[in-house]
Amino acid sequence: MRKVLNFLIIILIFGCNEKVELNQSVATESILEPDFTITVDKSHDKFSSSIPHQIKVPNGSVIEAFTLEATGGQLNINSTLEDFEKVDMDKVHTLTGPIYVEDAEVGDVLAVELLDLEPGDWGWTGMGPEFGFLAGETEAKGFKTYKLDKENNLVHFSDDISIPMRPFAGVMGVAPNTEEMLTTFPPRANGGNMDDPNLVKDVTVYFPVFVKGALFSIGDAHAVQGLGEVVGTAVECDMRIRFRLSVLKNKKIAEPEYESKDYYATTGFATTIDEAAKKATRYMVEHISETYDMPQEEAYMLCSLIGDLKIAEVVDLPNMLVTMHIPKNVFKKYNKEQ
């Protein structure tokens, strides 16, 4: 009996120590304090090299940006379908920025490390017969608002359906090399309305730089969205986003790419899913070949074995976005040798 008691005491002691260490680990995990803050009044609703920057920051700065829901404040938690149908689409999307990044030159890559994304208190989803993947096939209309359950990290779609939140920014991008005022609706080589729900906390997004200073903007935040965003909206919400901006001189890409600790992803935009998927595949072949010093034919075959094509969005016409993801763990041996 004494042996049993001694054994239980040992378990309790070690168990308590482990719990303390775990709690200490959680307590010490913190988000980096921002070097600069940019607020919702520093905004615009187009992409162009002629839009003047709102702030200028050194390379490597941590930024805290506050963004409005996609309509720029035209809707609120008490809005109705009628209000939704009256939205001024010229103000969609309202983006926070641009941010001029020192040392960013044409041909560089801007790395945006997503450190933290905190949704506001409410969100909305709307649909209509003229917009969405099934536009023209239905006369259905709809509009819902939600009080976001931030304590439990849930969106309560209905009394019976609750969805875990995975907040991200639907629009991120740098300025294109044109003075023309381009709409923010489609994804392009500069980023833009990618609407990719994988761009969450702890992901780093890479953008090719087309103008001096990059001129980065962010907005159209979503509390949660499925791949495709088939009705054309997600749970649209305000958001506080913290990210680090770094200029990479030794990386070259044609369109945005991104990575987490577990995978690397390329993106491709085009007017058809087929062409977008082909571009994402070509970019992944190039990434594997250049990063791991592998012949292109080998990289292409490897993509067939480990590459996952994903449809990010199908509604931001005229372009659609497809991504290819590859797991990093298959390259562990190579990484150790390096």
pLDDT for residue 336: 53
Give the H or E element holding residue 16.
Answer: helix 2-28
Closest CA to 145 of 237, 51, 14, 214: 237
User: Do the beta carbons of residue 102 and residue 206 sit within 8 Å?
Assistant: no
pLDDT for residue 132: 93
C-alpha to C-alpha distance for 259 and 251, rounded to whole angstroms: 14
pLDDT for residue 337: 54
User: Do the beta carbons of residue 284 and residue 303 sit within 8 Å?
Assistant: yes
Biggest CA pair distance of the chain = 83
Helix, strand, coil fractions of the chain, as percent rounded to 5: 20, 35, 45
CB atoms within 10 A of CB 91: 15
Nearest-10 crossing angle of helices 296-306, 273-291: 120
Instruction: Compute mean pLDDT per 10 residues along the chain, 338 residues long, and list them.
Output: 47 44 45 94 97 98 98 97 95 96 98 98 96 92 98 98 98 98 97 98 98 98 98 98 98 98 98 98 98 97 98 96 97 66
Q: Which residue has the tokens 């009044």?
A: 41
Letter string b/e over residues 143-181, b meaning 16 or more CB atoms within 10 A of that residue's CB: bbbbebeeeebbbeeeeeeebebbbbbbbbbbbbeeeee
pLDDT for residue 170: 98
Give the H or E element holding residue 172.
Answer: strand 168-173
| 8-state DSSP, 278 | H
Give the H or E element holding residue 109.
Answer: strand 109-127
| Residue-range domain boundaries for the chain | 36-250, 259-337
Partners of 114 in beta bridges: 243
pLDDT for residue 335: 58
CA dihedral 35, 37, 43, 47 (to 10 degrees): 20
pLDDT for residue 15: 47
Backbone angles phi, psi at 299, to 5 degrees: -65, -40
CA dihedral 300, 266, 246, 213 (to 10 degrees): 110
Which CATH code, of 1.20.1560.10, 3.40.350.10, 2.60.120.580, 2.40.10.220, is assigned to 36-250? 2.60.120.580
pLDDT for residue 54: 98
Superfamily the domain 259-337 falls into: Acetamidase/Formamidase-like domains (3.10.28.20)
> 3-class DSSP state for residue 189?
coil
Burial of 90 (0-12, 13-18, 19+ CB in 10 A): exposed
